Chain A
Amino acid sequence: MKLIDHSRVLNHMKPRVSFNIFFRSLFLLATLFGLLVLGILLYRIISQGLPYFNFQFLQNLPSRNPEQAGVYTALIGSIWLMAVVAPVSLILGVGTAIFLEEYAKKNAITTFIQINISNLAGVPSIVFGLLGLTVFVRAFALGSSVLAAGLTMSLLVLPVIIVASQEAIRSVPKELRHASYGLGATKWQTILRVVLPAAIPGILTGGILALSRAIGETAPLVVLGLPLFLAFLPRSVFDIFTVLPMQIFNWTSRPQEEFQALAAAGIMVLLILLLLLNTIAVLIRNRYQRRY
């Protein structure tokens, strides 16, 4: 007498295997669907925008003549915006996360703050635009400047950075901290030299997501009253400026077909800028990823 009836096992295995295959192909389909849509999008944009995508396009100002139109001021404006958003949102975001994770006591107030931060992440961006308009543009009298827009955008992406940084800090093993304390390190030394380096990959992942959102966002900037046409560049953070998504949005709503192609070329520039930013972040992240 056998302990295992082989034929019964085989019988049992069949539905299990087919079940596995079913779900496997389901998830594969889900992945492919996303890739397919992305592929179609890229194909459409590139085939439409390529004729206009050249060095001139990067150097010219917007124009009524599609052949002469370009994204110079918008591109430089977007870079200026990032130069404000990246440091402000990272310093504030990571600072908040360190405080909440390492210093704050777990009580009703911190829980309340925590819930509010998570909720803020879901607030529509136009609301932040209105906030920026009343606080930065009007009350602080910054006008539609790089600083006002940068601060508004930083507020918009802060929740994402805070939540991601908190997760990253929380996932640093307790043993590392204990070892550090055991060697006589102070709390600040532990945070700076043990916790933060270990948490950097997670923090940067949040940062990438946040900056990608900030660079593509249009609605809050429209509310802030950013202009579309500028023939000059911002010289300081207090100067008026414009950004790529606004220029793209304007071109898509023009009646002439040439402007739709210009919009596609503008999207290409935006995507390349985004890829560049992300590459830098991924490179920094990879330096730290292998540590623990």
Chain B
Amino acid sequence: MKKFKFVVLLLLIVTSISITSACGKGNNNAGDQKKENGGAAGNLEGNIKVDGSSTVYPIMEAVVEDYGSKQPGVKVSVGSSGTGGGFEAFGAGETQLSDASRPIKKEEQATLKKNGIDYTEFRLAFDGISVVVNKDNDWVDHLTVEELSKMWLENGTVKKWSDVRKGWPDKEIKFYSPGTDSGTYDYFDEDILKKKPLVEGATLSEDDNVLVQGVNGDKNAIGFFGFAYYLENKDDLKVVPIDAGKGPVTPSHETIKSGEYTPLSRPLFVYASNSAVKKQKEVNDFLQFTLQNAGRLAEDVGYVSLPKEEYQKELDKLKAIK
């Protein structure tokens, strides 16, 4: 009997401790912040919530990591619930900044307008969607945009390599594509397929590493994903140069940055709520820091920076919000 009472007592103590310690820590919090405030490094305070694209997340993670040493009083949290999920939270006023790997959609704009949220779009970096085939695939030297759309469009038939171009093997093509929630899928669907449905037999995955594995393991496979994933696995995959009418172009830092690699090089964005930029000094400061450092940090995590003058343009946009 005593033992049981002991356990009940223990449970009660644990619960009460966790509650009281929660309150107690709240008080410490104020003290800590004051200390940080007094420091020489930074003088801003506040909370910033960022959410959105998982493609942009690595850049934001790097930015926040560096920002922490500049303004330790500003608490930034970064989520990665996807471009669409990010805009949903942004529209509900839950976040001040929203990462996106595609421009905002009409429906999302409508929600923002309805909720009275004014926003500004900033470009952070470039990503080149890379089309890849198996390493042992010796027939594909390049693909034109028409061939790409012909391959990836759903038309009710089994697709064979020989259907794409004469002389290619009479083998079924295996498709690997990012999942429908990702901005990469949206971008490909919109720019290459003109919003028509993607081939039904495709293997979809939200995890790009699965796509890498898939293409790597099948001689007749083709897939597409972000440039960073190709770069990391370039020994195991063969990238396909894309011909948009001016001759085949291979995705590389230079061709993506210069815009030569079209139409598959895409900008990555961060959307900011205008009222937050105006009202919260720390949001303005953080965005400024982001735009000043995004190029370098994007390169660090495997993306391609915008040309320098472009970042100045984005900074001017930020200044214009007043």
Contact = CB atoms under 8 A, between A and B. Distances in A.
Interface in A244-274: 250, 252-257, 260
A193 B4 contact: yes
Contacts of B26: 235-236
Contact of B233 (A83, A193, A237, A255): A255
Interface residues of A, number: 40
Contacts of B233: 255
A61 interface: yes
Given A64-B301, A225-B79, A252 B57 contact: no
B256 to A, nearest CB: 16
Given A64-B297, A228-B61, A235 B22 contact: yes
A244 to B, nearest CB: 15
Interface in B76-105: 76-81, 85, 89, 92, 94
B62 interface: yes
B65 A228 contact: no
Interface string A218-231: 00001101111111
B224 to A, nearest CB: 14
Contact of B57 (A242, A250, A284): A250
A105 interface: no
A253 B232 contact: no
Interface string B289-301: 0000000010011
B133 interface: no
Contacts of B49: 227, 240
A24 to B, nearest CB: 39
A61 B65 contact: yes
B3 A287 contact: yes
Given A138-B92, A288-B3, A64 B25 contact: no
Interface string A149-170: 0000000000000000000000
Contacts of A222: 81
B15 A87 contact: yes
B23 to A, nearest CB: 7
B51 A255 contact: no
Given A227-B49, A230-B77, A250-B80, A64 B1 contact: no
B207 A255 contact: no
A200 interface: yes
Residue from the set A225, A226, A242 with the largest chain B CB neighbour count within 10 Å: A225
B209 interface: yes
B290 to A, nearest CB: 14
Given A235-B22, A253-B209, A254-B58, A196 B4 contact: yes
A103 interface: no
Residue from the set B18, B54, B79, B233 with the largest chain A CB neighbour count within 10 Å: B79
Interface string B15-43: 10011001101101100000000000000
A229 B7 contact: no
Nearest to B301: A64
Chief secondary structure at chain B's binding surface: helix
A49 interface: no
Interface in A61-87: 61-64, 83-84, 87
Given A64-B61, A225-B89, A87 B11 contact: yes
B111 to A, nearest CB: 15
A197 interface: yes
A250 B207 CA distance: 10
Given A64-B301, A83-B18, A225-B89, A235 B29 contact: yes
A64 B77 contact: no
Nearest to B212: A255
Interface in A170-190: none
A229 B77 contact: yes
Contact of A228 (B15, B22, B80): B80
Contact of A231 (B3, B15, B68, B232): B68
Contacts of A90: 11
Interface string A191-204: 00100110010000
A235 B28 CA distance: 8
A232 interface: yes
A227 B77 contact: yes
A132 interface: no
Contacts of A250: 54, 57, 80
B65 A64 contact: yes
13 contacts: A63-B61, A87-B18, A223-B81, A227-B78, A228-B80, A229-B65, A231-B65, A231-B75, A236-B25, A240-B49, A254-B58, A255-B209, A255-B233
